[in-house]
């Protein structure tokens, strides 16, 4: 199963301070909208999403259908196919993608330590 591009989505208290901090580590703003309180920063193929006031805890994020530059891939495992594999493995889903649809969809699982994992397909 190929989960797609990986990033860490961080819940931050002060977006500007976090942008400056990660900028000092060599990250540059890659995407997002500061007026909507989020940016995606990039350093090489490492991605860090900074989100102020959008969710409480940090989230591990996978994007089926995208590479680390948010380019659509010609071939990828659809989020609904991944979700079926996760269910078959006995992993409880917190939220589910509608398996009767196509295109963008997502689901969330929680790892044994309480970390949220978002599988979020945009294509």
Residue reference for tokens 């599988």: 119
Per-residue pLDDT tens over the stretch 48-74 = 999 999 999 999 999 999 999 999 999
Mean pLDDT of the chain: 97
Range of the domain at 37: 5-121
Which pLDDT belongs to residue 78? Answer: 98
Domain count, the chain: 1
Task: Look at residue 97 and give its three-state secondary structure.
Answer: coil
Which pLDDT belongs to residue 90? Answer: 97
Per-residue pLDDT tens over the stretch 28-45 = 999 999 999 999 999 999
What's the pLDDT band for 3 if we cut at 50, 70, 90?
Answer: very high
Beta bridge partners of 43: 46
User: Average pLDDT for residues 90-116, to the nearest whole number?
Assistant: 97
Task: Look at residue 7 and give its three-state secondary structure.
Answer: strand
Give me the long-range contacts of 41-47 (CB less than 8 A, separation at least 24): 42/68, 47/5, 47/6, 47/7, 47/8
CB 10 within 8 A of CB 51: yes
| Cα distance between residue 112 and residue 71, in whole Å | 32
Per-residue pLDDT tens over the stretch 78-88 = 999 999 999 99
CATH number reported for the structural domain that contains residue 82 in this entry: 3.10.180.10
What's the pLDDT band for 76 if we cut at 50, 70, 90?
Answer: very high
């Amino acid at each position: 199963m190929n989960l797609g591009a990986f990033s860490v989505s961080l819940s931050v208290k002060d977006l500007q301070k976090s942008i400056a901090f990660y900028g000092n580590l060599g990250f540059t703003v890659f995407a997002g909208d500061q007026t909507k309180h989020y940016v995606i920063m990039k350093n090489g193929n490492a991605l860090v999403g900074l989100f102020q006031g959008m969710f409480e805890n940090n989230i591990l994020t996978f994007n089926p259908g995208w590479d680390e530059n948010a380019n659509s891939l010609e071939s990828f495992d659809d989020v609904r196919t991944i979700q079926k594999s996760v269910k078959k493995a006995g992993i409880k889903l917190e939220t589910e993608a509608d398996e009767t649809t196509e295109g963008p969809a997502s689901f969330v699982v929680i790892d044994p330590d309480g970390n949220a994992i978002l599988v979020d397909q945009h294509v």
